[in-house]
Chain A
């Protein structure tokens, strides 16, 4: 742990934070007449150059994705301990792993649009990387020898790749074991295996570096995700045995407790979250579930609660938390802009857009 090492990065972040859109700016964006007008009013912000390069305004997703990718690259370049940022960003690498695994292991045609540009490893390098794993496995070569030529690579990427390789091998063994069944591994299980691998590893990294703020945030994210998944799984009527495969470990609420509660009833789920900051959210969500109402607004308040936790990083003078907070703020901002623009595109009412807008960082 070396929070002082982050001093320079935090200094730069403070200046960058001034570029974040305020709540008023977002509201003004939401009130614009149509898609063109909304994009026009973004022209003077940091997003301007990205939208200017678009040939068709309907492709705003591309611009937003490029913007985030550049932000990540910039933040990564200023991090004194790159692994911390790499681990946070790795959620996109694991996302790409899901896409590639589905196409390679489940035999589903690859959907290039599903690939994220935000990962540490570019999608085109990812293919070569997975090819190497497949080849080594066929040739019976142990993993370690193939890492020889990666010595020149950044150590944080080497660690990430070894975790990705391990996860891929796990998925592969699950599929091969069930060779008589073409879909031996359901896509749901595949996704949740990858998710669990990501959260487990990232939490390990943050704990290893000793940044309590970041690991607390990740645990809370897992708590909230577990709560959301539990209620959604209840709504979809998934059996308890399946849910136990979904719950993410390493949250503040142990996954065994939650799975046990899931097997019983809503009251027990509330009880599992008793004493955590999410107690109120849990009881609200369970009430909605029992009345059979939509969870949209509730999911938003979950995201907001989590985001308020991130916002604490705004007043920290040192450490990686402000840096991660900034990245999370940008992601939330892009999400809000996407909600607004997509809403304008499909001509949703202002109320429907506002219902989905998340809290902003500044």
Chain B
């Protein structure tokens, strides 16, 4: 697309101002992009680490659950697990990364710092009779319960990654638009205007010289 402007000196100054503006914006956006990328990579690394940890823990938990299952008869197991282990409340707050609003989630009563350990004085009551179950089941369920904060943390991080990726994409498109479209076009327009102005100057000069000649010949 070409920028059509009147080839006036006033326009030229305005165009030049726009170019300066665009270049400054470009630089700022690029900085933002780089910073976002840095944040993004850190978070991706963390999510990878979390995911690996989660997968390890989940497979361990599933394994101990299948061990518990082997020892209990199916009706005994089903009966023990009829009632869910009780509600867990998730609190959500928000945080800004480079102007991007990302959620922070953690399970109420289990602050992220404490990880999988329940808070002091908070006892998870089993929801099944102890006489007809085994300690394997306690262990397996405790493992699953320990995974919950990790799951919540991971889902929060994945959401952050999604939001950041969107933002990076948007910023990159803006940077590119500035770098490859707007700035070149503006510069082109400046050049055009300058050439036209020079052209007009030259035309003026030659017209003046012509007029001078005519005047002198008389």
Q: Which A residues form the contact surface with B (CB < 8 A)?
A: 61, 65, 95, 98-99, 102-103, 106, 108, 111, 113-116, 186-188, 190-192, 194-195, 225, 228-229, 231-233, 235-239, 242, 246, 248, 294-296, 299, 335, 338-339, 342-343, 345-346, 348, 352-353, 356
Contact = CB atoms under 8 A, between A and B. Distances in A.
A114 B71 contact: no
Contacts of A113: 74-75, 78
Contact of B75 (A116, A229, A239): A116
B68 to A, nearest CB: 9
B135 A238 contact: no
B1 interface: no
B135 A294 contact: yes
Interface stretch (B15-23, B35-43, B98-106, B118-126): B118-126
Contacts of A236: 123-126, 138
Nearest to B77: A114
Task: Classify chain B's interface size.
Answer: 20 to 34
B132 interface: yes
Interface in B140-173: none
Contact of B130 (A99, A192, A239): A192
B82 A187 contact: yes
B139 A338 contact: no
B75, B79, B124, B134: which has the most chain A beta carbons within 10 Å? Answer: B75
A219 B179 CA distance: 85
B78 A188 contact: no
Interface of B: 63, 66-67, 69-71, 73-76, 78-80, 82-83, 123-132, 134-136, 138-139
Contact of B83 (A108, A115, A116, A232): A108
A77 to B, nearest CB: 23
A342 B69 contact: yes
B66 A192 contact: no
B85 to A, nearest CB: 10
B133 to A, nearest CB: 9
A7 to B, nearest CB: 32
Given A232-B135, A239-B123, A343 B130 contact: no
Given A111-B78, A113-B78, A246-B130, 7 more contacts: A99-B75, A113-B74, A188-B125, A188-B127, A236-B126, A348-B66, A353-B70
15 contacts: A95-B79, A98-B129, A108-B83, A116-B76, A187-B129, A188-B129, A188-B130, A192-B129, A235-B138, A237-B123, A299-B135, A335-B73, A342-B69, A348-B67, A356-B70
